[in-house]
Amino acid sequence: MALAGIISGEGCTVKYSFTGATIAPEVKSISVQYFPNRAATVLPNLAQDFTNALMDRCKAQTGLTFTNDMGDVNFEGEITDYKIEPVAITGNEMAAMNRLSISVRVKFTNRVEPEWDFETTFTRYAEYESTMDPTQAQDEYTPQIIDQLTEDIFNRAFVNW
């Protein structure tokens, strides 16, 4: 559970959080729309897993109320790329390493502080030995990549990096 509080001084109110999030006190609700998988390669459950992970991160690190309607802050977008490609070619033209990468286009809307709105694509990847079975690599690295992506998205929206 995120710990937060409000500091009030003469003429100013600042909301703080121990997660590093900076959220205006007027922001009360949040919504996360379903992120469909529009990548050329469709991994079953990726869209649902990503959407749930983003919701879980926001629930764990904010005290905002989730709504199915448009919240004071809203995330929407789509998974735009999911691929495995060779990245290190050996002398005999064989891949020594492969890269699993996922890209997500995110539109963040802040109805209280619209200057923090953004629309951008986030990409993360993991590299692994080419001798590893691709299904094993997907099972092992996809959750890690999703975690990194949701952290990047959360930080952009609420930590203002």
Q: Which residue range is the domain that position 126 belongs to?
A: 28-159
Question: Does some domain include residue 114?
Answer: yes
Does residue 102 belong to any structural domain of this protein? yes
| CA proximity to 69, closest of 42, 95, 126, 31 | 31
Percent of the chain with pLDDT over 90: 75
pLDDT digits (tens, 9 = 90+) for 44-77: 999 999 999 999 999 999 999 999 999 999 999 9
CA distances from 138 to 35, 52, 80, 83, 149 (A): 19, 18, 17, 10, 15
> Is 3 part of any domain?
no
In-domain check, residue 110: yes
Which range (16-20, 40-44, 126-130) has the least confidence? 16-20
CB-based contact 22:65 (threshold 8 Å): no
Whole-prediction pTM: 0.85
- Please check whether residue 6 lies inside any domain of the structure: no
19 lies in some domain: no
Whichever domain contains 32, its CATH number is 3.30.160.150
